[in-house]
Amino acid sequence: MEYYNYIKSLHLIFVITWFAGLFYIPRLFVYHIEASQKPEPERSILIAQLKLMTLRLWKIITWPSAILASIFAFLLLYLMPFWLKQDWMLVKLGFVVLLYAYHIKCHFIYKDLQNDKIKWTSNQMRLWNEGSTMILFSVIFLVIVRDAVNWIYGVIALILLAVILMLGFKFYQRIRSKNSKA
């Protein structure tokens, strides 16, 4: 138990760097998709640079952070096995599974873009980018408030967050549309 706080600190550090990667990678995807619509030689120069940036972020930061965050999480669960009997932890682990699904889908998008296969629009990718935000909010509130908040209020808050994010996205689209016409 003397190493508990060190393990917890390392877990949190790698969770933060994992999320940083998951927040930034879709932005790079957006830039890549938009660069593919530029004229040459700008297109080739931008795409080459974005592929390199994406590769480095994905393979040097995001994937290693995901793996290390999980290793330290398993160590914490080994040290505190009673957590697995608590509802909040089971729900949190469900969100972690969802986070890995999001991460793996980002990996497929990454591979497609590295192979010059564009299947998403930049607006779809901007919307996709909000997935990790939703998961982060859910996990943080679960860990901090645990059983203090009724689950119904938690679900309502999550729906409200989704609505706010969607309204923000629509507002951004409107501003961007006006700027492109000007």
Annotated binding site: 11, 92
Q: Measured between alpha carbons, how far is residue 136 from residues 26, 103, 141 in Å?
A: 15, 13, 9
C-beta separation of 168 from 175 below 8 A: no
The answer to whether the bond into 41 is cis (omega within 30° of 0) is: yes
Structure tokens at 141: 């509130």
Q: Measured between alpha carbons, how far is residue 91 from residues 45, 60, 64, 99, 133 in Å?
A: 45, 29, 24, 12, 17
Q: How far apart are CA 49 and CA 2, in angstroms?
A: 45
Binding site, annotated residues for heme: 11, 92
